[in-house]
A = this chain, B = another copy of it.
């Protein structure tokens, strides 16, 4: 982690969080080409795929093939999502050196999403975190629905704090706070982050916004002002939201990088290469890019 105040690390989640919510699945070789292109942009972290059961996420059933196929550029991390110890072992079998686990801040969401209470799903991580520690594998923790839930509505900040603290205590080197349904606004995002940062060091926190209501960049700005320096995003803004049809997905990496660079913050990312990658991915998906920067830059 780079803790200098003018460096922001982008965690590119497009190949995982983006593509797992796209209707048209991409062939493994296209996913590999995507990640290789992303590696060339200067990104430091690229979430490559998910070892969740293909029954749940058929779009990423080729996780092993994709992970094996990508060029691992020295200095770039390629974490993969794992739901439990079995997924962890599948990920390790292909050489994954960093993994991510996930739970929700909303009890209702967690029950519908993984058919378990939050505490039960955290218990499933415990052996993953123990094994990872023994293996020297870094574990990232995701907390979803931090600013709202499609089932229970409001999510108390205290619930977010409790889950984030638990993931931190269990050994997650980083905890990513996700507004899964994109309903948050800047003051709420700021208050949530501030509350979590009272219990978990800011340097170990990341923010993860979906742009469903167009609020993502404003929320990121508010969180940067609070001191966060790790931001999740997806090239070309891929990913729908399965809970709100027609809604847009992850905030587009291009738009985040454009904002950060415009503010004098550094990411190490070559925006031109990122825009070219986003335009290429949109063509592969046969859809218009959700990145406004890429749309403006590639307009005829």
**In the bound complex, what is the Cα–Cα distance between A213 and B262 (angstroms)?**
11
**In the bound complex, what is the Cα–Cα distance between A288 and B186 (angstroms)?**
26
Q: Does A292 sit at the interface, judged by CB under 8 A? A: yes
**In the bound complex, what is the Cα–Cα distance between A213 and B182 (angstroms)?**
19
Q: Nearest CB to that of A187 among chain B residues?
A: B263
Q: Does A138 sit at the interface, judged by CB under 8 A? A: no
- Chain B residues with CB under 8 A of A212: 292, 296
- Chain B residues with CB under 8 A of A187: 262-264
- Chain B residues with CB under 8 A of A259: 185-186, 214-215, 218
Contact A214 B217 (CB under 8 A): yes
A94: shortest Cβ distance to chain B, in Å? 36
Q: Does A299 sit at the interface, judged by CB under 8 A? A: yes
Given A214-B291, A218-B220, decide whether A245 and B185 contact each other with a Cβ distance below 8 A.
no
Chain A contact-residue range equals 35 or more
Q: Nearest CB to that of A299 among chain B residues?
A: B246
- Which 5 pairs, one residue from A and one from B, show the smallest C-beta to C-beta distance? A185-B262, A246-B299, A214-B292, A214-B255, A187-B263
Contact B185 A263 (CB under 8 A): yes
Residue from the list B185, B221, B246, B296 in contact with A300, Cβ < 8 A: B246
Given A185-B262, A221-B186, A248-B292, decide whether A255 and B299 contact each other with a Cβ distance below 8 A.
no
Contact A299 B244 (CB under 8 A): yes
Q: Does A194 sit at the interface, judged by CB under 8 A? A: no
Contact A215 B262 (CB under 8 A): yes
Contact B263 A296 (CB under 8 A): no
- Chain B residues with CB under 8 A of A104: none
Write out, one digit per residue, whether chain A residues 44-84 have a CB within 8 A of any chain B CB (1) or not (0): 00000000000000000000000000000000000000000
- Chain B residues with CB under 8 A of A248: 292, 295-296
A107: shortest Cβ distance to chain B, in Å? 23
11 pairs of residues in contact across A and B, judged by CB atoms under 8 Å? A185-B263, A187-B264, A188-B262, A213-B293, A213-B296, A214-B252, A214-B292, A218-B220, A247-B292, A248-B295, A248-B296
Residue from the list B252, B262, B298 in contact with A184, Cβ < 8 A: B262
Q: Nearest CB to that of A263 among chain B residues?
A: B187
Q: Does A222 sit at the interface, judged by CB under 8 A? A: yes
Q: Does A258 sit at the interface, judged by CB under 8 A? A: yes
Given A185-B258, A187-B264, decide whether A246 and B296 contact each other with a Cβ distance below 8 A.
yes
A278: shortest Cβ distance to chain B, in Å? 12
**In the bound complex, what is the Cα–Cα distance between A263 and B221 (angstroms)?**
14
Q: Does A211 sit at the interface, judged by CB under 8 A? A: yes
- CB under 8 Å from chain B, chain A span 130-186: 182, 184-186
- Chain B residues with CB under 8 A of A221: 186, 218, 221-222
- Chain B residues with CB under 8 A of A258: 185, 213-215
